[in-house]
Amino acid sequence: MGLLVEIDPQSGFCGGVIRAIGSAERFLSEHPGRTLYSLGSIVHNDEELSRLSRRGLVSVSQEDLPSLAARGELSLLIRAHGEPPSTYRRAAGLGFEVVDCTCPVVLKLQQDIRAAYDRLQTSGRPGQIVIFGRIGHAEVLGLVGQVDGDAIVVEAPDMLRAFLSDGTIRRDGRIELFSQTTKSPEEYAVVASLLRVSLTDPAALTVHDTICTQVARRHENLTAFATQHDVVIFVAGKTSSNGTVLFSLCKSLNIRTFLVSSEAEVRKEWFRPDDKVGVSGATSTPKWLLDQVAGRIASLTL
Ligand code: SF4
């Protein structure tokens, strides 16, 4: 008898990724024969990227823009992560037509950071923007760019402690704290409380609730899903920030959690005959890939 396999009903693309891929596919069907250039990968998943590249979506970097413009290849997609204002200025200067797929949740976060920065500038007290996120991540670069780089990015509580002790983060000023949308809600709470107890005036800290609700809900659901199965196969691209966070959450709850990026990476030795197997994925993992991985597991003979 084959293994019992259940796909996490809450997994699959988040709304922002569905929206971005839908916009890209719509553009490509409305402009047959044209190539749409995505500034960075539209989704951190190689399998889905291959599918979209066959339809005419090609990932490029900032360095590629001048040569594309010189060739008259002028269709540029901005992905759900968003971009700093400097990217829009540069794209416009080179003559690109921009298909802006910035997720509305990220757009709102960008606006909130600009508004907080303006408040700090006019408050008459020293103040700083602190962002809990991954240094160098595209969304974080877009957030920091909203305030011309005048923000401090903190990746983990240890980094926060170091910044407090070397004075990078001032204890005597106002702090407006934000999080990258895909960070762990638990870790963000730790960062916020550590900051609060470290400031001269705890009331000088404003904590903005900016973790995406879809991500926060997924953390809650995954906590139950990981403990209800003997083995969890987590499907995510190796570069997915959200995938790394959710995989670590699963692994901390169920030691028999394994990360794969496609069905080819599934290993027979991970399973025992009576195992109940759960298959889940990141916000950038397509449903069709979860189906393929689940199908591969169900076909194993142990
Ligand atoms: S995780 Fe949330 S904020 Fe990020 S793209 Fe998806 S829906 Fe938007």
Residue 191 shares a structural domain with residue 224: no
Q: What is the pLDDT of residues 57-89, one digit of tens each?
A: 999 999 999 999 999 999 999 999 999 999 999
Place of tokens 């991970």: 270
270: domain CATH number?
3.40.1010.20
Q: Which domain holds residue 114?
A: 105-207
Residue 72: which CATH number? Answer: 3.40.50.11270
Q: Which residue out of 139, 155, 176, 263 is catalytically annotated?
A: 139
Question: What separation in Å is there between the alpha carbon of 79 and the centre of ligand 1?
Answer: 11
Q: Tell me, yes or no, if 97 is annotated catalytic.
A: no
| 88/126 same-domain check | no
Q: Whose CA is nearest to atom 5 of ligand 1?
A: 16
Structure token digits, residue 158: 């240890």
- Please list every protein residue whose CB sits less than 6 Å from any atom of ligand 1: 14-17, 80, 103, 105-106, 181-182, 212, 214-215, 283
| Percentage of the residues of the chain whose pLDDT score is greater than 90 | 86
**Number of compact structural domains in the chain:** 3
Among 53, 58, 52, 51, which Cα is nearest to 76's?
Answer: 58
Q: Are residues 203 and 144 in the same domain?
A: yes
Domain closes at, from 69, 103, 137: 103
Closest residue (by CA) to atom 7 of ligand 1?
16
Q: Are 145 and 86 in contact (CB under 8 A)?
A: yes
* Helix pair angle (185-198, 213-227), 10° resolution: 120
pLDDT higher than threshold 80 for residue 5: yes
Tens-place pLDDT, residues 162-190: 999 999 999 999 999 999 999 999 999 99
- Is the pTM higher than 0.85? The answer reads yes
As given in the structure block, the two tokens for residue 287 are 């449903």
- Interval 112-123: pLDDT, tens: 999 999 999 998
How far apart are the CA of 212 and the centre of ligand 1, in A?
A: 6
pLDDT band at 1 (very low <50, low <70, confident <90, very high): low
Pick the last residue of a domain from 163, 186, 207.
207
Residue that is last in its domain, among 103, 135, 152: 103
Residue with CA at minimum distance from ligand 1 atom 8: 16
172/144 same-domain check: yes
